[in-house]
Amino acid sequence: MVPLSLEVFLGTLEDFNRMIRPMQMLAAAFGLVALWVVLRPQQLSSRLVGLILASSWAATGLFYHLSTFAELNFWDYPIGLTFLAQALILFWTGAVANRFSVGPAVGTPHHIGLAVGFYALAGAPLIGIATGRSWAEVGYFAISPGPTILFTVGVLLMLNGRSLVGLWVLPLLAAVPVTILGSSLALLEDAAVLPIVAFALFMRFRHGIGTTTA
C-alpha cells in the first residue's frame, strides 16, 4: 500500500524542488559531462564518471529520501540507505579503483544506453510536465530517484567490463518502489522505471557484459 496521496507527494516534491533550485540545472550539466566523457574517452573518464554517478546517488539518498520524504514514509529510510550504498560502490569502482572501462561507441547496448541517459536527463521530466504538472512537480537526475536510476543504467550500458555486472543489483532493487509508487499515483515517468531498467539489463546480458579494455 502506498502511504502517500498524490496531493501530499506532489506538494512535498514541489517544496523540495523549489528549495534547491537551481540545482536541477547544475545536476543536468554534470550528467551531460558524464555522457560526453563516455562518448569521448579521456585519461580520467572512469574516475570522473564514477564521481558524478556516486554524487548523484548520494545526493538523492541523503536529501530526497532521508531528509525529505522519510518524514512522510518509513520506507524512504531503507531506500535512502540503498542509494547511499550504491553511491559508495560507484565511488569505489569508478573514482577510486578506476574500473569503469570507457571504450569506443560500439554496439546496440551503447546506443540504447545513450538514449536512456538522455531520456533520464530530459525525457522523463518533460513527460511529467506534459501530463499537467509544473516543473517543480517532476523528478530530475541527481535530485529524484527515478531519473537517477535510469541515468545510471544508461551509463552502465555504455561501459565495458565484466566487473560492472554487480553495479546493476541495487539500481534494479531501487527501481521497484519507484515503479510501485509511480503506478499507484499515475506518474507515468516513474511507473516506467522498472521496465526500462529490466530491458536495459536484458540488453546488457543479451549482448554480453563486455570485456575490459585498456
Q: Model pTM? A: 0.93
Contact yes or no for 5/73 (Cβ under 8 A): no
pLDDT tens digits for range 61-99: 999 999 999 999 999 999 999 999 999 999 999 999 888
Cell numbers representing residue 214 in the block? 585498456
Query: In this model, does residue 105 exceed pLDDT 70?
Result: no
Nearest to 163 by CA among 213, 88, 206: 213
pLDDT in the model for residue 102: 78
Q: What is the mean pLDDT of the chain?
A: 91
Percent of the chain with pLDDT over 90: 77
57/109 Cα distance (integer angstroms): 23
Q: Is the peptide bond before 104 cis (omega within 30 degrees of 0)?
A: no
Q: Which residues of 184-205 are buried (b: 16+ CB within 10 A; e: fewer)?
A: bbebebbbbbbebbeebbebbe
Residues whose CB falls within 8 Å of the CB of residue 204, separated by 6 or more in sequence, listed in order: 109, 156, 157, 168
pLDDT in the model for residue 162: 55
The DSSP code for 3 is: -
pLDDT in the model for residue 14: 98
Residues whose CB falls within 8 Å of the CB of residue 136, separated by 6 or more in sequence, listed in order: 13, 14, 17, 18, 21
Query: In this model, does residue 161 exceed pLDDT 70?
Result: no
What is the domain partition of the chain in residue ranges?
Answer: 6-206
pLDDT tens digits for range 9-60: 999 999 999 999 999 999 999 999 999 999 988 778 889 999 999 999 999 9
pLDDT in the model for residue 204: 84
pLDDT in the model for residue 55: 98
* Span of 36-50, 85-99, 120-134, 139-153 with lowest mean pLDDT: 36-50
